[in-house]
Structure 1
Amino acid sequence: MKVICYAAMESPQCSPHTVNRPAAMLKALDKTVIEHNLLACGEAEEYIVFVGFEADKIIEKLGDEFNGVKVRFITASTNWNDCLTEVERSLFDTRQVLLFKCDSIYSKEDMQMLAADRNARLTCEGKEANAFSFDPAEVSISDDFQKCLRPVEVQDYCLPLRYPWNYLEANVELVRRLKVREIKGEIEDNVVIKGDVHIAEGTLIKSGTYIEGPVFIDSGCTVGPFAYIRKDTVLGKGVQAGRMEIYDSVLMDGFTSKHISYAAHSVLGENCNFGAGTITADYRHDGGNHTTLIENKKFDTGRRKLGAFIGDNVKTGIGTLIYPGRKLWPGTSSLPGEVIKKDRFNS
């Protein structure tokens, strides 16, 4: 069986975290989305990866071989139908194909169930999950090939990454599923750790810190002293979180905040720096759903609690306050004492 991953698309609705990377290169816990999905597929004869937007990032991550399986890259447009045309043209002699879009995270159980089912398509609550198993000799892609495939409903999970809060929700779902306490890092005296907490080797938890699981902390981090890490939080590699309170948030690789600050229901990008006193607001006084701008249109997120979505390499000045649901594009910054009321884009 050949596994085909379509990772060529742009994902503007998931900005700012997909401004400078494809959705396939977002990290969920300690692996990128594309790594999660390829591993979920099980045994494969070959991985074929369609790349386009920011292709070099995917090629560098996977290399010529991943998990002992040869990887072949095909440069494609960001149009899904172009990918299908290329699949039909180049794989007509292949007997079985597992094809998926890499803008969701699929479970091992569901992908291997799909792979074992000839000419089937994955659905999630009756909607297309954009994963397909078929024999190109039996199914013509030039037609509406999805109609030729039998729907198979997700049994475990399919986590879409359409909007930035979906990326947060996907990490929360995965950290809740760990259900294991694994402490490999260095823990100083007077640290309290409760629940399912993963702390990787090479991480230091300083005195006075309080951690409530489920929490995932990757390698090379320094947390505290006197940090408060609340449940559903994921810290990427090399995060420096001083006297922070963090709740239901993802702090991506290299994030730094060495002073007092607060982040909740937020995603904070790679190599960002929070100035002292930076606070993300997350709750409306009327308790209603938060709205945010998606491609310049107001969008109901369906969430009563929603923080900030901060791109890579953002720097906030001391005392910065950020309204709920606001997004800061990569490389932007704020002045000391500034209140961020609107999304901030690159100039």
Structure 2
Amino acid sequence: MYPITLTKQLDDIEICGMRLKDLEHPDFEYPWEIIAWQRENALKIVELRITDYELREKNVYVGKNVAIDQFVIFNTDQGVIIIDDCAHVYPFSYIEGPCYIGAHTEIKSHSQIRKNTSIGHHCKIGGEVSGSIFQPYTNKAHHGFVGDSYIGSWVNLGAGTTTSNLKNTYGPVRIEYSGEKIDTGMQFLGCIIGDYVKTAINTSIYTGKIIGVYAQLFGCVTENIGSFVMDTHEGKKVFELESAIRAQKRSFERRGIEQKEEDIEFLKRVFEETKDERSFISV
């Protein structure tokens, strides 16, 4: 299940505010199967939670201390919308069910949150998203499109970052995975992004690409990118461990979280375990 299991157990992945271990699901062999399963079952998963929330308007359920500004449009024709505790939806946003918005998450002005989307807690989301899974503490605060994708925790997508989720041929998406080219059978499939990934402004990611933990992306991403790899206009470079540790500390501080020694040791272990992904880079 690379790369999403590098930094978390599969059962700890959050969908609609619930961990996979608390949901009835099939065995997953490949990471994109989670995207397909969530997309097909989003309505049932969201409806499991509605008794925990207050009905704000037809098929829109909210937690405690939720702020919904003026000129927000909710479309519940195809399913329920849940907005969890202390979330804030800014003006001129459009939200389509079935959809879950996690606690303390901000939906920025002029956002389009389309159906079958699950957004974790403490995220900042802007632009357009559709059929995607966002893990906690991830930012996509600006314009750009993310469709039919899995986005890990502590990811920051720079302004204008866009994922392709449909081939020009309209055929099924094929993914390079563990040295094989695999037909996913999915017509709509974006990308799979591991934890701590950062993208520069206006980054474009081709259909069906897999991005490893702490990769740094720039420009047009046409192939899979390994963990701790910087994909720059000057070629690929190693994102050094010490830089990753400093970046993690700064990210944590912005959210009021203390970086502990166990966090640092964990990054060191992941860096070591993924060294083969960077073996092609000349030092």
Question: For 1:301, which of 158, 170, 184 is the aligned residue?
Answer: 184
2: distance between equivalents of 1:248 and 1:203?
A: 20
Which aligned segments of 4 or more residues in structure 1 are displaced greater than 4 angstroms?
none
Q: CA deviation at 1:172?
A: 2.8
Partner-residue secondary structure (3-state), 1:166: helix
Partner of 1:257: 140
2: distance between equivalents of 1:20 and 1:252?
A: 12
Show CA shifts across 1:274-323 (max 9, x none).
Answer: 11110000111111111001211100000011101100000001111000
Partner-residue secondary structure (3-state), 2:225: coil
1: distance between equivalents of 2:15 and 2:114?
A: 18
Partner of 1:219: 103
Checking the alignment, whether the CA contact within 8 Å between 2:175 and 2:182 is kept in structure 1 is: yes
Partner of 1:18: 5
Q: CA deviation at 1:31?
A: 2.1
Larger Rg over CA atoms:
1
Question: For 2:38, which of 171, 174, 196 is the aligned residue?
Answer: 171
Partner of 1:334: 217
Question: For 2:75, which of 177, 180, 194 is the aligned residue?
Answer: 194
Question: For 1:33, which of 13, 20, 23 is the aligned residue?
Answer: 20
State yes or no: 1:230 paired with 2:114: yes
When structure 1 is superposed on structure 2, of 321-330 and 175-184 the one drifting more is 175-184
Show CA shifts across 1:157-182 (max 9, x none).
Answer: x4332211211233334421134531
Show CA shifts across 1:75-116 (max 9, x none).
Answer: xxxxxxxxxxxxxxxxxxxxxxxxxxxxxx52xxxxxxxxxx
State yes or no: 1:315 paired with 2:198: yes
TM-score, length-scaled by structure 2: 0.71
Number of residues of Structure 1 aligned to a counterpart in Structure 2: 211
Q: CA deviation at 1:20?
A: 1.9
Question: For 1:267, which of 150, 162, 185 is the aligned residue?
Answer: 150
Checking the alignment, whether the CA contact within 8 Å between 2:13 and 2:135 is kept in structure 1 is: no
Partner-residue secondary structure (3-state), 2:175: strand
Checking the alignment, whether the CA contact within 8 Å between 1:26 and 1:32 is kept in structure 2 is: yes
Cα RMSD after superposing both structures: 1.4
Checking the alignment, whether the CA contact within 8 Å between 1:247 and 1:265 is kept in structure 2 is: yes
Show CA shifts across 1:208-235 (max 9, x none).
Answer: 0000101011101000111000000000
2: distance between equivalents of 1:169 and 1:18?
A: 17
Question: Which amino acid is 2:94 matched to?
Answer: Y
Question: Which amino acid is 1:343 matched to?
Answer: N
Unaligned runs of 5+ in 2: 51-58, 228-277, 279-283
Question: Which amino acid is 2:36 matched to?
Answer: E
Checking the alignment, whether the CA contact within 8 Å between 1:249 and 1:266 is kept in structure 2 is: yes
Checking the alignment, whether the CA contact within 8 Å between 1:23 and 1:161 is kept in structure 2 is: no
2: distance between equivalents of 1:167 and 1:319?
A: 27
1: distance between equivalents of 2:119 and 2:100?
A: 6
Partner-residue secondary structure (3-state), 2:11: helix
Partner of 1:161: 28
Residue correspondence of structure 1 range 109-148 to structure 2 within 5 A: none
Show CA shifts across 1:177-225 (max 9, x none).
Answer: 1345312321000000121100011100000000010101110100011
Question: For 1:183, which of 45, 62, 80 is the aligned residue?
Answer: 62
2: distance between equivalents of 1:28 and 1:208?
A: 26
Checking the alignment, whether the CA contact within 8 Å between 1:268 and 1:310 is kept in structure 2 is: yes
Q: CA deviation at 1:22?
A: 2.2
Partner-residue secondary structure (3-state), 2:121: coil
Q: Matched residues, percent identical?
A: 24
1: distance between equivalents of 2:181 and 2:103?
A: 38
State yes or no: 1:247 paired with 2:135: no
Partner-residue secondary structure (3-state), 2:182: strand
2: distance between equivalents of 1:312 and 1:333?
A: 11
